[in-house]
Amino acid sequence: MSTKSNLLNVNTKCQEEANAKEKIAILGAVLIITISCFLPEMEYLSIAGIRTIGLIIAFILLLVTNALPLSITCWIVLGLMPLIGVSTGFGAALTGFSNPVMFFILASFGISTAFITLPLSKRILVVLLRKFGKNMKSMLFAFMLCILPITAFVSSVPVAAMFLAIALSFLELFDDEEAKRITGKTFMIAIPVTALFGGIATPAGSAINLLAIGLLEQHTGQTISFVQWMFVGIPLVLLIFPIAWLLIYKVYKPTEINPDMVRAFINRLEITPKMSIEEKKVLIIMVSMVILWILSSWFTQINIVVVALLGICAMFLPGIKVLEWKTFIKNVNFDVFFLVGTTLCLGSMIVNNGVSDWITTMFPTIQMSLPMLIAFTVIFVFMVLIIMPVGPSVVVFLAVPLITLAQSMGYNSELIILTLAVAAGNCYLLPLDTVPLITYGSGYYSMLDMTKSTLPLQIYVVGIITLVFWIAGGIFSII
């Protein structure tokens, strides 16, 4: 009884501490917004601009501290926009939700649902494990390699959740708790890191990618085609992958396994020798979508978002029916939907209220070479993400200032937005982003455990993005 009582007391104390932190965060957000409402107009910043910044800081504080459910935080921000004069009315506050990106996000949940409900990802994993699963080093390679093609077309969040479940199943094969803990740390860090850098291969790999393209189109009338993105995205993934794999393996040194354990794990996955009819249907639809996405680079009549929507609709049609509406709705992450929509709305207010012009005045006015500008952008984004670990918000906040900066130096707007998107989707120095938080919750590693392998990886990523984008800059316009 005393043990139960102690556990109850510990849980109660933890809950009280969590509640206290939530109250402090909410009070802090209220204070920030209140102060911003009483500040006078500044030299480069209007009253509406000051209140926009105050609302954004409060928004980020509530997101980082998880003081309120994410969607509720978004609703509060949307409601406050017209109330404190950030937008001219509630209709103006909701402009971000009319962006085509929002429909692509809904479609992406359909794609991820098809992968989750059918054993496609497990089938790919089994093929790779049979080929590479001879020891722990090659097994980690197979595991990470399996994630890459999926996360190139499916959002990183469901991919991380999917492979978390597979990894936990594998770890149950270990009888020794210490071996299980060490190996678990390796895989739990490898999953989000691979899912994040794998998402930069194509525009469909992350909501951040489509968000960045949407902002570029909105503010310049220019765009980045599917092939243009793949031209730099795929080489980046291929250059990052081996370094990430070796770093994670060398730093955490997972416990070696017996090949019999690999065979036992494959058997536990219970994959049938032949693909089911439903799997073949999904595969045909997905391949058709990818072909059309690639063709959209030359045929402007083909719209990436329309292809995604119609592709998902095809999965519901009689005779195909690989998705059920209730299953789809159950797997839609409305937190992500409202987060991206709200950041788009704030992005419009950042431009309308002159905040983007004010941020531009703080950037260095010296002429930089293209490699220097790319490196500066990546490092600056990585630093901002440590303080503000919400990729979509960072993209919205910095898009227009960086476009202005690039144009003032005579450089390509598309290339700088691509740099911003790739950097915003690839910060894994600490498990603060939504994707690493999925595996961080498993308890296999601490905040600083991740940094041991990801700090050198981040430094390498800065260099490799600078090199690849510098080379791409010379021929980007002709693709």
CA distance 452 to 293: 38
By percentage, how much of the chain surpasses pLDDT 70? 94
Neighbours of 271 (CB within 10 A): 17
pLDDT of residue 11: 54
Do 423 and 378 contact (CB within 8 A), yes or no? yes
Residue 338 binned pLDDT confidence (cut-offs 50, 70, 90): confident
Number of CB atoms found within 10 A of residue 459's CB: 12
Which residue has better confidence, 396 or 97? 97
Bigger pLDDT: 214 vs 244: 244
Would you call 461 helix, strand, or coil by DSSP?
A: helix
Task: Give the integer Cα–Cα distance in Å for 211 and 205.
Answer: 12
The reported pTM is 0.78
- Give the separation between CA 292 and CA 312, rounded to whole angstroms: 14
pLDDT computed for residue 239 by the predictor: 94
Measured distance CA(209)–CA(200) in Å, rounded: 7
Q: Are 348 and 96 in contact (CB under 8 A)?
A: yes
The percentage of the chain sitting over the pLDDT mark of 90, rounded to a whole number, equals 25
**What is the H or E stretch that residue 90 is in?**
helix 90-93
CA atoms of 301 and 143, how far apart (whole Å)? 38
Sequence spans of domains, the chain:
101-331
User: What does the buried/exposed string (b/e) look like for 373-411 if buried means 16 or more CB atoms within 10 Å of the residue's CB?
Assistant: bbbbbbebbbebbeebbbbbbbbbbbbbbbbbbbeebeb
Over 70: is that where the pLDDT of 5 sits? no
- Res. 304: pLDDT tops 70: yes
Residue 10's contacts (CB-CB under 8 Å, 6 or more residues apart) are: none
Dihedral over alpha carbons 153, 154, 155, 161 (to 10 degrees): -150
447: pLDDT strictly greater than 80 = no
Q: Give DSSP secondary structure letters for 167-181.
A: HHHHHTT--SHHHHH
pLDDT in tens, 31-49: 999 999 999 988 778 999 9
Chain-centroid distance, C-alpha 447: 18
Residue that has been written with the tokens 């004069």 in this structure: 85
pLDDT of residue 18: 63
What residue has token string 């690639």? 294
* Beta-carbon contacts of residue 26 (< 8 Å; ≥ 6 apart): 62, 67, 68
Digit-coded pLDDT (tens) for 228-284:
899 899 999 999 999 999 999 999 999 888 777 788 888 877 777 788 898 889 889
Distance CA 303, CA 289 (A): 11
Measured between alpha carbons, how far apart are the two ends of the chain, in Å? Answer: 71
Task: Report residue 371 as tokens.
Answer: 């490699």
Please give the Cα distance from 59 to 70 (Å, whole number). 10
How would you class 85 by CB atoms within 10 Å of its CB: exposed for 0-12, middle for 13-18, buried for 19 or more?
middle
250 CB-near residues (< 8 Å, 6+ apart) = none
Q: Cα 43–48–53 angle (5° rounding)?
A: 85
